[in-house]
Amino acid sequence: MTNGNIEIHRCSSAIGAEIHGVDLTRPLDNATWSTIHDAFHKHLVLFFRDQDLNPEQHVNFSRRFGELVPYPFVHGIDGRPELIEIVKMPDETRNFGAGWHTDMSFAEEAPLGAVLQAIEVPPTGGDTMFCNMYLAYETLSAGMKAYVEAARGVHDSHDPRGHSQSYKGMSLQEKEGAEREITAHSMVRTHPVTGHKSLFISPDYCMEIDGAETSESRRILDHLEHHATRDEFTCRFRWEPHSIAIWDNRCTMHKVLSDDLEAQFAGHGFKRVMRRATIGH
């Protein structure tokens, strides 16, 4: 599919598309922006290659989607509080965001999405997986649909220090005075633009179902996570320097793979540095 010089290549049948023929370092004209915005709602996550954005350009592009909000538990970079750096050091085995989740689902209103740029990536490893939560809802059995329509999941941010202090490259970025957040959300939500329903679980943060016993919650949530992350509902993105991903946080989940085996078995692997802007509502 083309619009002028813009090319859109799907990453999988379920989710994701790479956009070619766009220079995000420059202001976008209305036609180009419209093509990108329409593709965002159609494919749920978009990828761009070879986009060496400085912090100002990163912020300016991200703001086309909405107002930016700070991440509640990590300080922003110098001069740009809207941007945080996500760092894995060579001797660390786990990446920040390693489990399936929806960003900040513990907040009263979870963000619209995020724009993530690769600053330093390894030759291999640290790929990010995305899944389509429209499909996760639509393919549930009738009985399970009825259950989740009536249920509320309890989303817990956990100890704020775990969002930065557990990672050496982020250890000095803990926000003083940040408080733990716990919020109950409907397990089905309707997208404000497309009108489609999606499943809302966010396994990293949604640990129980309101009103259910712990063992009941765990069985149901484990089943829903396994269902939502079936291979055919996902895509996998291999990062390169200056790659960018933007995802719709209202109808997707994602996780980064913790597959640095050299760090795990030899104690020294790869460094990975990403920069992220969070889009509000």
Q: Which residues are catalytic?
A: 101, 103, 254, 276
* DSSP letters spanning 25-89: TSPPPHHHHHHHHHHHHHHSEEEESS----HHHHHHHHTTTS-EE--TTBPPBTTBTTEEEEEE-
Query: Dihedrals φ, ψ of 13, to 5°?
Result: -70, -25
Instruction: Give the integer Cα–Cα distance in Å for 150 and 182.
Output: 19
- At a CB cut-off of 8 Å and minimum separation 6, what does 194 contact? 41, 251
In angstroms, the CA 129 to CA 115 distance is 15
Strands 6-10 and 252-256: unpaired
Decide: 175 and 74 in contact? Cβ < 8 Å. yes
Fill in the DSSP letter of residue 168: G
Q: At what angle do helices 214-228 and 142-150 cross, to 10 degrees?
A: 120
Per the structure block, which two tokens stand in for 8?
């859109």
Residue 121 buriedness (CB in 10 A; 0-12 / 13-18 / 19+): buried
Amino acid at 203: P
For residue 52, the tally of other CB atoms under 10 A from its CB is: 12
